[in-house]
A and B are shown apart, each in its own frame.
Chain A
Amino acid sequence: MSQTPLNLYVVDDDEAVRRSLGMLFLSRGYSVQIFESGEAFLAAKQLDHQGCVVLDFRLDGMNGLEVLKEMRLRLSSLVVIFLSGHGDIPAAVNAVQNGAFGWLEKPCNHDLLLQKVQQALEHATQLALLKTEKDQALARWLKLTPREKEVARLVADGKTSKVIARELVSIESRTVETHRANAFSKLGFSNSNELDRFLRHNDL
């Protein structure tokens, strides 16, 4: 299974902060890209990548929360860690509720930051894997003909060929058997339990 390379981004309007963070991640062997504003980050079309963003909360222009919301709107699967000044607890709660992975207060312990970034990247990897799996499952599923999909759903429900033939009216039990065999072959399953799990797991 091929794995998409993970990305690490830093968005902060304070030059010293973003450059120091860049230097920190570089020193730990991460490949890192830095942005001076939320707008610049959103414009860079990195959103469909897998990875992690360290996002300053108090940004000039769009603030961190606005950037996060925009990312969610654009269905980005990037994991977000917020950095903020002292005393923004309500904003932090709000951010986490909006799907932020973590929240760190400036100035933060660099070990804690690195640890959190590592966790976020692992989480991103999980997400990427899941996404890959789902994409592959979907690709297989899309190979089925409409009739085969119909039969496969009923098979996953645990129904016999005779019952399925009766429900679908126009076809015979033998034809159902054929569709079933084709579906199993295309999806790579040998029994209906596997099929049921596959459908559930991939929200099909």
Chain B
Amino acid sequence: MLLFSIAVCLVLWAGQWAANRASQTQADAIHRAIDINALGLRAEIAKYSALPYSATLQPDVINALSQDGVMFRQRVNLYLEDVNQRVGSDAFYVMDLKGLTIAASNWQSPKTFIGQNYANRPYFINALKGETGLFFGIGQTTAIPGLFIATPAHQNGKIIGVVVIKVSLRDIESAWSDFNAPIMVSDANGIFFLGSVSAWKYQANRALEKDALEWLLRHKQYGERKVFSQVAWSVEHLKVNSGYLIQTQLDEKTQRYLAFDQELPELGWKLTVMGDYKPILWARVTTLILGTLGMGLLIFVALYWQLREKRLTDQSNARQELEVRVKERTHELNESLAFQKAMENSLLVGMRARDLEGRIIYVNTAFCEMTGFSSSTLIGCLPPYPYWDQDDLTRHWNESKTVLSGNAALEGFESRIKHLDGQDVQTMVYTAPLIDATGKHKGWMSSVVDISEQKKYETKQRLLDAQLQHSARLASMGEMATTLAHELNQPLMALTSYASAARAFAEQNNQSLLISSLQEITIQSQRSADIVRRIRGFVKPLTTGVELCHINALVNNVLSLLQPEIKRNQATVISKLAEILPAVSGDRVLLEQVILNLIVNSLQAMQSKSNEDRLITIETLMIDQSIHVRVSDCGTGISADVAENMFAPFFTTKTDGLGLGLNICRTIIESHHGELSFENRVNDISKGAIFSIKLPAQI
């Protein structure tokens, strides 16, 4: 749009420029015409203006004007006629001081000037003043327009008359009419009196003032004409060169002219020369058309260029986009490949693919690391593979045959292979058929898991469990020792006191009290011995050996051990022990430990209960070759979420518990080929939990 506006402006400007240039050219032409025509006019006038003066020098003319000069008048007539005829002027005549024509070139014409008085004419008046009277007017006698040139005739320094020549200037006018544009001459009042356009004659180019009109009428400059209308045209003044544009109706056509004025001061006239405006218009129009065409072309080219550029840009963009997309796709593909590669490499599981004959067609990094062989070594290999144990080839052959015949176990099988460095690697092998894209069975894909570490860990874990049981027993013993020590303190305290009292009573000779004290000493000594025996039973050497144990004895032992603890908790324990029970085979200390643990748990479970409700029942019984020990409490029972984690290591509901007790208990019982289970008492009046130990009986 902007471009279009600029183009329009440019075209308009070019049109204006062309018009200006054309009008300048026209103006120049007009100025030249003005110069030529002004010169021509001046020359014409100059040609005649000398004639009246030369006539005043004629003695006959002087004589004729002097007193009694009548006799000379005919001679003057002849002279005037002769000159008039020779120079081609209209009339040549002599007037006396009163304005009366006394001699004239047309003396023979019926309309002779002789006897006519022209005293009212300005040229006469001017001439009487001693000046050259110059006046264009319409002849009063002839009614023919012409230029009157008057010169005073002197005798002895006095004006005695006036000689006048009248020139029609028709020749000049007719020469002008050949010109292609009007040439006009106007007088001081702006009335055109001479020119190529007859229609404009005696019309004024401006409004006449009243004085001027009166003067015109009085001097009859333009005959009897009384009205001088203004020329019918519109004038547009130009900014430059004092020129102006004229638009008018001539010969029933609208005409436009460029006009310039030239003052002719010595004549009191103004010469107006016009030039046709059409060429200027044409120049403008042509330029506008050409400019518009040019601009149109330019715009068209520009638009075309723009279109072409756009198309090229589009093409370029499309190409770039394509490149970017190709790059992206390539990148994605690479990433996906890298991803796959990384995945394969990061797999700890060894992957091995074989064809139907057993030839290795693929192995991943993990498999290579597992065996110590590079993939290039392995791929293409047929059994026996390099990682087979040379000392155990039969087993490998059997395994391989089983797999290749499709009979491998779905849950996998363990296989020991030999690493390149000679180390044994325990593996777990899982195999699935390898089906290609067309659905054809191509071979077998095996995933091989290195379970060496797991095996090691399992062994280690077994050791660790044993250690843990041992430490738990030690910890529990420490706790027991504190309780037992306190219990032992009581009889010791009593012993000390009684002994001291006995000595005092002995000194005081107080026999009865002495004996009483000594009896007490015996009792307390016995009590101490009992306690010590219980401790010794518990802290027996850490035998892990297996012996035949009597469950009832174990329970009683534990109960006596726990007696202070039970007392402290203000609980009551009811024992319902089967009278005859077979022995069980196991570690006495460990089994005692489990029973102890269950009773302590029960005591703790009932801490929130009132004293009379703190009841523990311990039963031993024989069911189907198994010996059962049941510990029931009246505690809060076991909630579902606690039950779920009951045997998990480090799970505890106690604020100071380690969470290992029940876990170890179960491990101990299971190592005795038994079971440890629990349930809630729901069918009883009092709620609580029941823990059951089931052990195989030795019969």
Contact = CB atoms under 8 A, between A and B. Distances in A.
Contact of B493 (A17, A27, A60): A17
Contacts of B497: 17, 20-21, 23-24, 110, 113
A114 B500 CA distance: 10
B123 interface: no
Given A20-B497, A21-B497, A23-B498, A28 B504 contact: yes
B505 interface: yes
A20 B489 contact: no
Contact of B492 (A83, A107, A111, A113): A107
Contacts of B494: 14, 16-17, 19-20
A72 interface: no
Contacts, number: 82
A109 interface: yes
A200 interface: no
A27 B507 CA distance: 10
Contacts of B490: 14, 16-17, 106
Given A24-B500, A27-B508, A86-B486, A107 B513 contact: no
B513 A108 contact: no
B532 interface: no
Interface string B491-535: 111111111111111001010010011001001100100000000
Interface residues of A, number: 25
A24 B520 CA distance: 12
Contacts of A114: 500
Contact of A23 (B486, B491, B508, B516): B516
B520 A107 contact: no
A87 interface: yes
Contacts of A109: 496
A87 B482 contact: yes
B489 A26 contact: no
A108 B492 CA distance: 9
B393 interface: no
B492 A16 contact: no
B513 A23 contact: yes
A26 B501 contact: yes
Contacts of B510: 27
A85 interface: yes
A77 B487 CA distance: 32
Interface in B152-195: none
Q: Name B's interface SS.
A: helix
A58 interface: yes
A95 B499 CA distance: 29
Interface in A81-139: 83, 85-87, 106-111, 113-114
Given A107-B492, A107-B493, A23 B517 contact: yes
A82 B499 CA distance: 21
B485 interface: yes
A20 B493 contact: yes
Given A86-B485, A86-B489, A110 B496 contact: yes
Contacts of B495: 20, 107
Contacts of B496: 20, 107-110
A183 B516 CA distance: 61
Contacts of B498: 20, 23-24
Contacts of A26: 501, 513
Nearest to B504: A27
A86 B510 CA distance: 34
A20 B516 CA distance: 10
B520 A23 contact: yes
Nearest to B520: A20
A95 to B, nearest CB: 17
Given A20-B494, A109-B496, A111-B500, 7 more contacts: A14-B490, A17-B494, A26-B501, A27-B503, A27-B505, A107-B489, A114-B500
Closest 4 CB pairs of A and B: A27-B504, A20-B497, A110-B500, A107-B492
19 contacts: A14-B494, A20-B524, A23-B497, A26-B501, A27-B502, A27-B508, A27-B513, A27-B517, A28-B504, A83-B493, A86-B486, A87-B482, A106-B490, A106-B493, A107-B489, A107-B492, A110-B499, A110-B500, A113-B497
Interface of A: 14, 16-17, 19-21, 23-24, 26-28, 58, 60, 83, 85-87, 106-111, 113-114
